[in-house]
A and B are shown apart, each in its own frame.
Chain A
Amino acid sequence: MEIKVLGPGCPNCKELERRVVKAISETGIGANIVKVTDFSEIGKYAMMTPGIVINEKLVHEGKPLPRVEQIKKWIENGK
């Protein structure tokens, strides 16, 4: 499974990435994280950052950031 974290590198994006890493390790599902920092790539998926794309599908964009529990649900659904 591929999880993309969209964001140009502001503090919110880093926090989101941290939560995604935590969610992945808690679910125990093998997934690799791809950080997308380029606006030309981000723009293909979302209209607000930070965002999460699971298997090419946008599941979250903008603030407030989703909680780890919520991210775990998305990961399990996208499995």
Chain B
Amino acid sequence: MFDLIADSLTYGMLRLPHGSRIAESVRFFLYDVPKIYFLLAVIVFLVAIARSFLPPERIRSILSRENEFLGNITAASLGIFTPFCTCSAIPLFIGMLESGVPLGVTMSFLVASPMINEVALVMLWGLFGWRIALIYVLSGMAVAVVSGFVIGRAGMERYLEDFVLKTKSPGTGPDQRRGWNDRFAYGTEYVKEIFSQVWLYVMLGVGLGALIHGYVPVDLVARLAGKGNPFAVPVAVLIGVPLYSNAAGTIPVVQALMEKGLGTGTVLAFMMAVTGLSLPEFMILRKVLKPPLLLTFFGMVAIGIVFVGYLFNYIF
């Protein structure tokens, strides 16, 4: 369906010559943007509905019943359904620790929550297909589970800021009227909000991607940053850190670069760095974690991401 729309607009309405570079770029843009907007509306709505069943008190009570390891896995899975910025997850982090959830389990949650989010998922699915999206989710979960588990084993509770374990957090949230009508309203509201935040970045990202698609020579990227270059993965991670959770703007560009020879693992590592590691997040986490724990946390996640990068560069 999106194929037809893009074709008729590119060749019919705009009358661009078949096979020309400009037509290639324009068609790429007109195909991807509507498709992503459509997926965004559907997926964000569905995730919001799922999330309406998982208020923070619920997440906390589920995790306080789990033991280690299984708890890490559950925490990483629940992280998929939670809002993606770390600052909104920190009060929940404090609340979980206070109600006895092990530190390592909360860490798994804190890694997965921003890294695996619905916008990144939509962008990956829309531009790379469901396989890559699924690999991203699974390897993101693996990084979250392993780093959380290791931190839990390391017994680093003493590196939490002192107030964290003393805070008495509320037992219940605000009154939630949660019939199906409320859930649909919540979902719609969520779609609108996400849309207002990302629509422009989707256009800019896909636009830039379209230019790369049409104009960058095929082997340029492959030569500079292809699988043969062992520095491609760590460099991609370093570049990803300052691009704070802007999945909407970065994924289309990366997708175009992959067509030109960037390795699959490099792409995955880059995406994880964009969503899961960021400077503003670092500053906010510093308010609850003392430096040794904060550095261990970031170090573990970074190592995990680089490992994922090399692994999938090797497999594909």
Q: Which residues of chain A have a CB within 8 Å of any CB of chain B?
A: 6-10, 12-13, 39-40, 42-50, 58-65
Q: Contact mask B186-199 → A, CB, 8 Å, 1/0?
A: 10011011000000
9 contacts between A and B (CB under 8 A): A8-B90, A13-B87, A43-B169, A44-B168, A47-B169, A58-B173, A61-B56, A62-B83, A64-B189
When the two chains form their complex, are residues A48 and B190 in contact, meaning their CB atoms are under 8 A apart?
no
A47 to B85, CA, bound (A): 14
Which residues of chain B have C-beta atoms less than 8 A from A7's C-beta? Answer: 87
Q: Which residues of chain B have a CB within 8 Å of any CB of chain A?
A: 56-57, 60, 83, 85, 87-92, 94-95, 98, 163-164, 166-170, 173-174, 186, 189-190, 192-193, 280, 284, 287-288
* Tally of A-B Cβ pairs under 8 angstroms: 84
Which residues of chain B have C-beta atoms less than 8 A from A61's C-beta? Answer: 56, 173-174
When the two chains form their complex, are residues A39 and B192 in contact, meaning their CB atoms are under 8 A apart?
no
Q: What's the dominant secondary structure at chain B's contact region?
A: helix
**Taking A49-B90, A58-B170, A64-B190 as contacts, is the C-beta distance between A43 and B95 under 8 angstroms?**
yes
- Taking each of B60, B91, B173, B192, which has the highest tally of chain A beta carbons within 10 Å of its own beta carbon? B91
**Shortest Cβ distance from residue B53 to the other chain A in the assembled complex, whole angstroms:** 14
| From A46, A60, A65, contact of B170 by CB (8 A) | A46
| From B60, B168, B186, B284, contact of A47 by CB (8 A) | B60
Which residues of chain B have C-beta atoms less than 8 A from A65's C-beta? Answer: 193
